[in-house]
Amino acid sequence: MRYVLRRIAHGVLLLAGVSLLTFGFTALAPGDFYSDMRVDPSIPPAAVDALRRQAGLDRPLAVRYAVWAGSALHGDFGYSLAYGSPVAPLIRERLGATLLLAGTATLAAWLLAVPLGIWYATRRGWQEALARAAVAVLLIVPDLLLAMVLLLLAVETGWFPAGGMTSPDAAALAWPGRVRDVLRHLALPAGVLAIGMLPALVRHVRAAMAEVMDAPFAQSARAHGIPPRRLLWRHLLPVAANPLISLFGLSLGTLLSASLLVEVVMGWPGLGPLLVDAIMARDVAVVLAVVMLSAAFLIVGNLAADLLLYRLDPRIRVRR
């Protein structure tokens, strides 16, 4: 229990540090939400100054941070000047779409990466060279280029919808039809994210498996006549799981940040378009909320991986 509490306290301190740095960096950026109004000759400068005072932008940086921190502790995460409302409802109505996209892509990537990485680790000769070349090609292909190619394919063939989460007539469908409609819209953006994560995951699984395949206990198991498939899945994979669990926690932590660019390019109505609009409008409260949410997911993912390792690996408990 003390280990868990210490890890949670460390995560809270890290979140506080991220909030301080992010708030400071946004304050260093030139201009604010009302800067564009100053170049409009129809708006008097006194009116712009009054709006800035009303929003609290004329206060010292420390005071503004304290006000925002108090709002974040109450669950509001500040006030969006662009939308004229607290930030929390804006985040809630888009967070589900982002989690659906990123969660589906992460699950698909891991379900493919584990068997492919094990297969890659057991291949020799031309099969190993072919696998290495395929992983290298996928590593150098940018997610943006892949998204554009798949969007072009969707537009030219009509096999998949190009953008959005649902069709205009989805409300009139029965629930099985609505589920199929969402899955059709989900296929392309989730495919882009999964393919983008897949090569790195395959290389890590392959490296973890290759490290334990030549271990003394593995050679002893082969000498005792244990079948290769059983040896791989029942004995070698659990031993190689430690670095993979850490990587899984990291992939959980990067759920939000990994999907933001794909959402913008492929028109998925998640947090990505909201963040881009907030950056363009200098809506600091929304930017801070999305950054803090991404940091929180990263911390929770690492905490989950640490707890799994603590539970599954007795060597960690012995070292403590």
Single pTM value for the model:
0.81
pLDDT for the residue numbered 163: 74
The DSSP bridge partners found for residue 80 are 85
**pLDDT level of residue 255 (50, 70, 90 thresholds):** low
Spatial distance between the Cα atoms of 168 and 152, rounded to a whole number of angstroms:
21
Query: pLDDT, tens digit, for every residue of 39-69?
Result: 777 778 888 888 888 888 888 888 888 888 8
pLDDT for the residue numbered 170: 67
pLDDT for the residue numbered 173: 73
CB 320 within 8 A of CB 43: no
Angle, to 10 degrees, between the axis of helix 143-157 and the axis of helix 255-266? 40
Least confident of 66-70, 195-199, 287-291, 310-314: 310-314
CA distances to 56, 134, 138, 196 from 193, in Å: 40, 17, 12, 5
pLDDT for the residue numbered 165: 75
State whether residue 79 is helix, strand or coil. Answer: strand
The CA-CA-CA angle for residues 10, 14, 19, to 5°, reads 150
CA distances to 6, 16, 178 from 283, in Å: 35, 20, 34
Spatial distance between the Cα atoms of 81 and 89, rounded to a whole number of angstroms:
14
Query: pLDDT, tens digit, for every residue of 219-236?
Result: 777 777 787 778 777 777
For the residues 108-123, what does the mean pLDDT come to? 85
pLDDT for the residue numbered 266: 81
Question: Regarding the domain delimited by 90-319, which CATH topology (the fold level of the hierarchy) does it fall under?
Answer: MetI-like fold (1.10.3720)
Kind plus residue range of the DSSP H or E element containing 278? helix 271-281
The CA-CA-CA angle for residues 96, 110, 253, to 5°, reads 50
**pLDDT level of residue 137 (50, 70, 90 thresholds):** confident
**pLDDT level of residue 319 (50, 70, 90 thresholds):** low
CB 198 within 8 A of CB 181: no
pLDDT at 315 over 70: no
Nearest by Cα to 113 from 135, 133, 141: 135
CB 78 within 8 A of CB 71: yes
Domain residues of the chain, as ranges? 2-87, 90-319
